[in-house]
Amino acid sequence: MRYVVLIVLLIPALVAVGLWQQWPGSERVPSQYNPFAPFDVDDPLTPVTRFKLKVLGQDPQRCLTALARAREQGAIDYVEVGSPAIGACQLDHAVRVRSTSVQFTASFLASCPLALSWVVFERQRLQPLARELFGQDVTRVDHVGSFACRNVYHRASGRRSEHATAEAFDVVGFRIGQTRATVAGHWRDEGARGALLRRAFEGSCDVFGNSLGPEYNAAHRDHFHLGMRGYGLCR
């Protein structure tokens, strides 16, 4: 919820600024504050970042262009999988993420905005924290997947989960060299592993539409659910 009010107040002003800067002689607005500027994973995070990711979710080609730019920067390795129907679920311009600056338990399906959001989180929140606390980067991310064609909480009826469209990623832990920090085992740890987990989760709230962790409910006691719906639910 931290950015909701700001977004509501800022969007009209940002649109006006974006239009204004197209006039000859106007000064350029920094791209991280310009909702019309091409998205770059290294742009500093602002209240506009999540809005830009939302806009890309409605424009698959622009999103894929931004993701391709991130690949050129060496930030991500992926393959496009298109928009297949898998069971009763339909993906929309999804990609299979193979690696970033980290290795993963396994490659995973992701909507384009989710893939971009992960790269932003990793580069601007997770890795700086790992360097601060451990003196080195996270080398591996352990996860339990992203895509599952199901309803919320596996209910027989009701709305579809974000996982049904590969718009959420469930992280169970991080590895830094030979050190492993898991949500289930170290969330309340008083040392560096607990600090990494708690601060990384807090940092994810600046990027994803929703971040759900052990303080949310028992279903999330052992992982972080990082999803694209909403504007900053962080619990």
Position 134 pLDDT exceeds 60: yes
Tens digit of each residue's pLDDT (9 = 90 or more) over 157-187: 889 999 999 999 999 999 999 999 999 999 9
Going by DSSP bridges, is the β-strand pair 210-212/224-227 parallel, antiparallel, or unpaired? antiparallel
pLDDT (mean) for 223-233:
93
Using 50, 70 and 90 to split pLDDT, how confident is the model at 192?
Answer: very high
pTM (global) more than 0.85: yes
Position 20 pLDDT exceeds 60: no
Number of Cα atoms under 13 Å in the Cβ half of residue 62:
14
pLDDT in the model for residue 215: 95
- Cα distance between residue 208 and residue 231, in whole Å: 8
pLDDT in the model for residue 39: 94
Position 25 pLDDT exceeds 50: no
Using 50, 70 and 90 to split pLDDT, how confident is the model at 7?
Answer: very low
Q: Mean of the per-residue pLDDT values for the chain?
A: 90
pLDDT over 90, % of the chain: 80
pLDDT (mean) for 20-30:
54
Residue 196 CB contacts under 8 Å (≥ 6 apart), including other chains:
129, 130, 133, 134, 174, 176, 181
Residue reference for tokens 């592993």: 193
pLDDT (mean) for 210-224:
97
Residue 4 or 145, more confident: 145
Domain ranges across the chain: 1-37, 59-234
pLDDT in the model for residue 174: 98
